[in-house]
Chain A
Amino acid sequence: MARAIVSVPPAAKRGDVIEIRTLIAHPMETGFRADAEGRRVPRDLIRRFTCRYNGEVVFAAELFPAAAANPSLVFHTIAVESGTLAFTWEGDNGFAQTETAAIRVT
């Protein structure tokens, strides 16, 4: 079961810079390691993270083998209007997970 923890301030004033924290459970297997029998462990990475604010991309990141397991991404955006923030992680082996959070802007 894939798990993610997303932290968004539930309410903000228009124009405020808000901090968003995300954390997702993922092994981030590099593809360079060998298992106990010496066989190469296949690569299994999150390749891309995207944050959409009411459908518009406000933050995106590419991830590479140097990232640790269970990657945490913290970033900022400007509160412009009430609505939904959608967070999508996509990666190897068809990995795709989306979480959403509501924000109220006054």
Chain B
Amino acid sequence: MSARRAALAATAFAVAGACASFASGQADTRRSGAEFMSPATQAIERDDTQNPAMLWVADGEALWIRKAGRAGRACVDCHGDARISMRGVAARYPAFDAVAGRPVDLGQRVDLCAQRHQQAESLPPESGPRLALESYVALQSRGMPIAPPADPRLDAWRDRGDALYRQRIGLLDLACEQCHDALSGRRLGGSVIPQAHPTGYPIYRLEWQTMGSLQRRLRSCMSGVRAEVPPYGAPELVELELHLMSRAAGMAVDAPGVRP
């Protein structure tokens, strides 16, 4: 455990170094949502015997080797050992899916893989198996820098996500940036406003008392400003995810996270 922590610390240090040079000498002021949490919640996230997300990881590890669908194939049959093949994968999603002709996030990729290659039933958004596999895959990128792919097919989608981030929505007429850029670190009601860097997804949210995806988080925020909430899998949500990941490029993945 302590050896792994040391390795993580070393990775975090390397990432911090990369960010500093990325911002051409200026200090990186970006902070993971984990840094805004109380010490008690941080302690839950850091300890894998306390982090409830590890229950989903355990499920995902079991599902990885279980044969499913009409093809009778398991994830491991194509991908091999997830600890090797899935290393860094969560750090570069959403990615472009050529068959669908649009970007997909990690949860959608898990679902598409189940449908296409296992010929299994679709794994609905926020369902146990989908979140379990997503958590297990995300864990393999822990400590690695977020690295959005330089795929030109993503550019238009990412730009739309950037515009959505700045667009006022809902009855409260608020844009994401008004809270998460201008007022981060201050409070909304009793809760600290983080900088909206999606480093820890999927997360175990104490308020939800369960695991949830970044799309669930985005939909909660939209509902909070009394805006019309797009359905799970809607292009707007993936566009926002693309923008948020490029905004957080270089920051260390701390998935699966715990959030208040």
Contacts and interface: CB of A to CB of B under 8 A. Distances in A.
B50 interface: yes
B68 to A, nearest CB: 14
Contacts of B52: 23, 25, 70, 72
A5 B206 contact: no
Contacts of B49: 5, 7, 21, 23
A68 B55 contact: no
Contacts of A25: 52, 55
A23 B54 contact: yes
B50 A23 contact: yes
B50 A70 contact: no
A36 interface: no
A98 B241 CA distance: 41
Interface string B115-157: 0000000000000000000000000000000000000000000
A34 interface: no
B209 A69 contact: yes
Given A68-B209, A70-B209, A21 B50 contact: yes
A23 B58 CA distance: 12
A15 to B, nearest CB: 24
Contacts of B27: none
B59 interface: yes
B59 A1 contact: yes
Q: Give the interface residue-count category, chain A.
A: 10 to 19
Contact of A5 (B55, B62, B209, B210): B55
A71 B94 CA distance: 33
Interface in A19-51: 21, 23-25, 27-28
Q: Give the interface residue-count category, chain B.
A: 10 to 19
B52 to A, nearest CB: 4
A72 B50 contact: yes
Contacts of B58: 3, 5
A12 to B, nearest CB: 16
A50 B12 CA distance: 40
A89 to B, nearest CB: 13
Contacts of B209: 27-28, 68-70
Nearest to B59: A3
Interface in B45-77: 49-50, 52, 54-55, 58-59, 62
Nearest to B47: A21
A61 B132 CA distance: 29
A89 B54 CA distance: 19
Interface in B13-72: 49-50, 52, 54-55, 58-59, 62
Interface of B: 49-50, 52, 54-55, 58-59, 62, 206, 209-210
Given A1-B59, A3-B59, A21-B49, 20 more contacts: A3-B55, A3-B58, A4-B55, A5-B49, A5-B54, A5-B58, A7-B49, A23-B49, A23-B52, A24-B55, A25-B52, A25-B55, A68-B206, A68-B209, A69-B210, A70-B52, A70-B209, A72-B50, A72-B52, A74-B50
19 contacts: A3-B55, A3-B58, A3-B59, A5-B54, A5-B55, A7-B49, A23-B49, A23-B50, A23-B52, A24-B55, A25-B52, A25-B55, A27-B209, A28-B209, A69-B210, A70-B209, A70-B210, A72-B50, A74-B50
